Structure 1
């Protein structure tokens, strides 16, 4: 048994020593990994076949992104206002989560009660934020979602900050605030 172990150890040592050759460089299995081509910062990085590395393939959709088919136009806003409904049913609506998101993204301008008296309005940094209960403002699920997605007037889009489900949670909370203000 001892001689078998000694023979195996000797074989391993001989194989490892015989593969080492100081006069020749080691073989590179993936030379592109070791010696990558340098590209100029902000320059066009193109491969020899003309494909640019930074551009996504045409017609692809980023992971986690769901396209919104209603356009960012006045007609699109009216279409969303009239026809767009929340995909969340009553059991999926989480007003606590909606309030958290609203306070983070919306309350600074619209106020935590939806009365248009957020901190930026009180400090006169921005003006003209109407209350959710103003006469003539027919706020619907669709109009609120469209506004969150694309923005409106001085308000920018929050499509990059809020995922689709989170936007609908905020919509549900905005409608709750509107109902509370109308009481």
Structure 2
């Protein structure tokens, strides 16, 4: 079952993520409020980190003005993606995204995988020359890793990170929690760094 579950998540990640997000929205009122509070806290932390980074850049004496302005401009254009893309709750957008998704057979696993991979390849080729979307999530909301994508100039905090056992209420507002978060983002840029 684990192999089937993992392959399904890899082959139709938005479909699986949509089911998960919808289950969070349909869960108990207390559970839904807990998730919404975690998302709110994470957004506050991202804004706080960005604000602190802006202050650090603005007061940096080792950068010339051109470099400093470029860094501040990059910070101004940085996307903050927290929780999940809203298309996961929009049936029309999900159907549009999955247009051409092949039917699967209960008796031919190899053909199922091959046709799904061909569908993914066609989707990728269609987007090859298209303009880049600035709000596209580089990874899905089921990823259990908060990160900074330098390719997309985006901080991503998926909803999976905002739940136990990874997230604890108030953890981001404590100094150790904030240190963990910023180190996780820094490590994305300098994987050889020792903290």
Q: In which range does the TM-score fall when normalised by the shorter chain?
A: under 0.3
Q: Which has the higher strand share?
A: 2
Q: Which has the larger radius of gyration?
A: 1
Q: Which has the higher contact order (CA 8 A, sep 6+)?
A: 2
